[in-house]
Structure 1
Amino acid sequence: MKRMPAIFVGHGSPMIALDHNELTETYGRVGQAVLEKFGRPKAILMISAHWYTRGTLVQSAAKPRQVYDMYGFSEELYALKYEPSGSAELTQEVQNVLGDAVEVDDSWGIDHGTWSILVHIFPQADIPVVQLSVNGLLSDEESYALGEKLAVLRGKGYLVMGSGNVVHNLREVEWENPHGSAAADRFDAYIKEAVEKRDDEKVIFYHQHPDASYAAPTPDHYLPLLYILGASKGEKPYVFNNVRNLGSMALTGYAFGL
């Protein structure tokens, strides 16, 4: 069995679920590349920024509910359905790997950090999905180390994905700006160079950058990248959707082993 990739996706606004543009077409190409090179994953372990918890939680539901965890958007977005099955086998594998460090919790579901991008990457919703929460109690180094433990799942036919944003600052959104602010551009370029060089310490200790408090005022959207870096230690990335928009959002994605 080929070792599945580990992929971090920048998801941006929930409205990207309804978009048909170069960004979403690239999502589709990434999904197609996975299928062509590796075959269909047994299931996807998705680490979404929108399940940010005290502790590490994993889902076990046979049919996770679709969560519309956003407010004030168009009715069309709330009507969109993406309803994959769960995977009891993957849930058990995660428990085997993480042991007492993980708990099963089905109070959440498949949130927009997951379905807004998977609707383009794997539009048939025919690959099971299990979400793993982002543990807000872990340090940045511990988040990376947890990702290292998840790497073994890739060799068992599971696709490990993270969904967030390298730059995500809702308070500084510029709704009329189709590009990034100067601070967003600087920080995203800094992280991109570090990821490409596999200078993982720079990515882990991102607070050292002068624009870090602007780019990641809260860690929830940034941390999925650390999980994926840990799960792909030493591998060089395929960089996709290297763009910023709304001033304070970066959609840059990284695929390892693709």
Structure 2
Amino acid sequence: MKKMPVFFAGHGSPMIALERNELTRTFNEIGKKVMDAFGRPRAILSLSAHWYTRGSHVESSPSPRQIYDMYGFPKELYEVKYEPKGFRPLTERVLSLLPFADVNDDWGIDHGSWTVLTHMFPDASIPVVQLSIDGKISPKASYEIGKALSPLREEGYLIFGSGNIVHNLYKVEWENKGGSPAADRFDAYITDAVSRRDDEKVIHYEDHDDAAYAAPTADHFLPLLYTLGASEGEAPFVFNRVRNLGSISMTGYAFGLSLSKGGN
């Protein structure tokens, strides 16, 4: 069995679930490339910024509910259905790799997961299990959790992190189709470090002068550290390298997978 890739995707506005543009076409291309090059994953372990908890929790439900954890959007967004099955063997394997984790089925498949996966794997036929992002541990500890999860890749499981390199809803510039100078600087700094696999620099992202602007809370940044740990030493394919609304970065990284076009 081939070693499955690892992804980190910038998910941005939930409206991306309805959009058909270069960003979503790249998501779709990634999904097709996975199926062509690796075959169907047994299941996807999703690390969404929107399940941000105290402690590490993993789902076990055979039919996790789809969560519309966003407000004030058009009716059409709440009609999007993405309802994959759960996969208990993956849940059990995560618990064996993370003995400090526990089962929690109070959550489900939130928009950090389904707005991207609906483009990557549109038919929802691949089971999805979410693992929460632990908000009480250090960035280094988040990276170490990713390392602990890396054996899953040898077992047919795809690891998928969803968040944003830059995510500051307080500084959104509604008329800006690109990024602010601070967003551009921070995104370039992190992408350069990820590309060179200077993981320590990414782990210590708060040392950057623009970190307080780019990541005023850690929830959307930490999924990147989980995916870096799970892909230690592997060079990324950088995709969707754009900023929008001033303070949102859509930049993503694929580890263990190369694409012929799109994204940069």
1:79 aligns with 2:84: no
Deviations 1:1-25 (A, max 9, x none): 0000011000000000000000000
Structure 1 runs of 4+ aligned residues shifted over 6 Å read none
CA RMSD of aligned residues (A): 0.4
1:230 aligns with 2:209: no
Q: Match of 2:262?
A: none
Q: Match of 1:143?
A: 142
* Distance in 2 between residues matched to 1:207 and 1:223, nearest whole Å: 12
Instruction: Give the TM-score taking structure 2 as reference length.
Output: 0.97
Instruction: Give the TM-score taking structure 1 as reference length.
Output: 0.99
Q: Shift of the alpha carbon at 1:42?
A: 0.1
1:185 aligned partner, one-letter code: D
Q: Shift of the alpha carbon at 1:176?
A: 1.3
Q: Match of 1:65?
A: 65
Q: Match of 2:93?
A: 93
Q: Match of 2:256?
A: 257
2:16 aligned partner, one-letter code: I
Q: Shift of the alpha carbon at 1:175?
A: 1.1
For 1:167-182, list aligned pairs within 5 A.
167-182=166-181
Over the matched positions of the two proteins, sequence identity in percent amounts to 63
For 1:148-163, list aligned pairs within 5 A.
148-163=147-162
* Number of matched pairs: 257
Q: Shift of the alpha carbon at 1:228?
A: 0.1
* Distance in 2 between residues matched to 1:48 and 1:120, nearest whole Å: 16
Q: Match of 1:29?
A: 29
Q: Shift of the alpha carbon at 1:249?
A: 0.2
SS in 2 for 1:155: helix
* Distance in 1 between residues matched to 2:76 and 2:106, nearest whole Å: 25
Q: Match of 1:186?
A: 185
* Distance in 2 between residues matched to 1:161 and 1:137, nearest whole Å: 21
Gap regions ≥5 residues in structure 2: 258-264
1:5 aligned partner, one-letter code: P
For 1:90-129, list aligned pairs within 5 A.
90-99=90-99, 101-129=100-128
1:220 aligned partner, one-letter code: D
* Distance in 2 between residues matched to 1:196 and 1:181, nearest whole Å: 22
Q: Match of 1:131?
A: 130
Deviations 1:120-147 (A, max 9, x none): 0000100000000000011000000000
Q: Shift of the alpha carbon at 1:28?
A: 0.3
Deviations 1:189-245 (A, max 9, x none): 000000000000000000110000000000000000000000000000010000000
